[in-house]
């Protein structure tokens, strides 16, 4: 079974601060995704990273896939209250469409 | 307009009852899933169907039975509900993986919050 560990589990910061969320595994993934989930809604896909070492930017969010494709990070610059939510990483195996989700990081950005 | 729609949004029922949750997607995806999200927000896969065929069946009690009448619909029926079944259930859909092994990600419904009392 492939497991993904996210850290930190909870993060409460002030508006304008920077933060990084980590997603680690001992397994190799074919691709890795990040989702954001808001209360009362389902997770929404933010990005997919495929190549080891790949870096993708989405406005103030920077996603990186580890060289060995076992880990990933999400960095948010100048966080805003609208960034508040549950951030989930999810890894895809090498066969089929199955995703394994991490435990999530609950981010709260205070104004 | 909704890509993946689940009904009902909320479901409160007594122990021992039987209930169903319906899911429909209009994205033309081939694969659909049921996930359970517990109180700690952990998402765990329950079932996956690819074009009406069951392809993933995790260790889920027999009281849970998925049904896929066509590739756009995946329903979940639960018999003899127990207190521990209380959770949020998410339906999701996806395209088939591309090559090489590109996973295009899931589109989730907004969830069904099931409360068993």
Instruction: Parse chain B into domains and list their residue ranges.
Output: 4-116
The reply to whether B65 touches chain A by the CB within 8 Å rule is: no
Pick the CATH number of A5-110 from 1.10.10.60, 1.10.3720.10, 2.60.40.10, 3.40.50.300: 2.60.40.10
Q: Token digits for B63?
A: 């009281």
Q: Residue B66 has what pLDDT? A: 93
Best residue in B87, B101, B112 for a mutation probing chain A (most A CBs within 10 Å): B101
Q: What percentage of residues in chain A have a pLDDT greater than 70? A: 96
Q: What is the CATH number of domain B4-116?
A: 2.60.40.10
Answer whether residue A55 shows pLDDT above 70: yes
Q: For residue B106, give the nearest of A45, A50, A96 by CB distance.
A: A45
Full pLDDT tens readout for chain B, 117 residues: 679 999 999 999 999 999 999 999 999 998 899 999 999 899 999 998 888 888 887 878 999 999 999 989 999 999 999 999 999 999 999 987 655 556 678 999 999 999 999
Q: What is the pLDDT of residues A57-80, one digit of tens each?
A: 999 999 999 999 999 999 999 999
d(CA A101, CA A90): 4
Which residues from B are below 8 Å from A48, CB to CB?
Answer: 102-105
- For A25-39, the pLDDT digits (tens) are 999 998 899 999 999
Q: What is the pLDDT of residue A26?
A: 92
Is B117 in CB contact (< 8 Å) with chain A?
Answer: no
Assign 3-state DSSP to chain B and report helix, strand, coil percentages, each to 5: 5, 55, 40
Residue pointed to by tokens 């009406």: B52
Closest alpha carbon to A98 in B31, B99, B60: B31
Nearest Cα residue in chain B from A32:
B103
Q: Which of B96, B103, B97, B76 is nearest to B87 (CA)?
A: B76
Give the pLDDT confidence score for residue A97 in this predicted structure. 66
Nearest to B35 by CA among B16, B53, B25, B21: B21
Cα gap A89→A6, rounded to integer Å? 8
Does residue A8 carry a pLDDT above 80?
A: yes
Alpha carbon of A2: minimum distance to chain B alpha carbons (Å):
12
Domain spans in chain A, listed from the N-terminal domain onward: 5-110
pLDDT at B55: 81
3-class DSSP state of A80:
coil
Largest CA distance in chain B: 47
- What CA–CA distances, in Å, run from B56 to B53, B63, B77, B106? 9, 16, 16, 15
In this complex, which of A40, A45, A101 lies closest to B105 when CB atoms are compared?
A45
Question: Counting one residue from A and one from B, how many pairs have CB atoms under 8 Å apart?
Answer: 68
In eight-state DSSP terms, residue A81 is G
Q: Which of A42, A94, A98 sits opposite B111 (nearest CB)?
A: A42
In A8-84, the DSSP E strands lie at 10-14, 19-24, 31-37, 44-49, 55-58, 61-65, 71-76
Tokens 């998410």 map to which residue? B90
**How high is the mean pLDDT of chain A?**
93
Pairwise CA distance, residues A5 & B42, whole Å? 11
- pLDDT for the residue numbered A1: 58
pLDDT value of residue B82: 97
Sequence-distant (≥ 6) Cβ neighbours of residue B50 within 8 angstroms: A97, B30, B31, B96
Chain B contact set for A30 (CB, 8 A): 100-103
B97 and A CB contact within 8 Å = yes
Q: What is the mean pLDDT of residues A34-56?
A: 95
């Amino acid at each position: 079974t492939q497991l993904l560990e996210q850290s930190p589990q909870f993060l409460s910061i002030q508006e304008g601060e920077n933060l990084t969320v980590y997603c680690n595994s001992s397994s190799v993934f074919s691709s890795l995704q990040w989702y954001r989930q808001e209360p009362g809604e389902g997770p929404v896909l933010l990005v997919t990273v495929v190549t080891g070492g790949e870096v993708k930017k989405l406005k103030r969010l920077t996603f990186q896939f580890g060289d060995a494709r076992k880990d990933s990070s999400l960095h948010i610059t100048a966080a805003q209250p609208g960034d508040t939510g549950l951030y989930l990483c999810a890894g895809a195996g090498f066969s089929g469409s199955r995703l394994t989700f991490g435990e999530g990081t609950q981010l709260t950005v205070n104004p | 307009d909704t890509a993946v729609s689940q009904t009902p949004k909320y479901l409160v029922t007594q122990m021992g009852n039987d209930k169903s949750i319906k899911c429909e997607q209009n994205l033309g995806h081939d694969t659909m899933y049921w996930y359970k999200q517990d109180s700690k927000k952990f998402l765990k896969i329950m079932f996956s169907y690819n074009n009406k065929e069951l392809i993933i069946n995790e260790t889920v009690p027999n009281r849970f039975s998925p049904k896929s009448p066509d590739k756009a619909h995946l329903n979940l029926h639960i018999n003899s509900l127990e207190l521990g079944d209380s959770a949020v259930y998410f339906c999701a859909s996806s395209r088939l993986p591309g090559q090489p092994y590109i996973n295009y990600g899931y589109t989730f419904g907004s969830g069904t919050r099931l409360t068993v009392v």
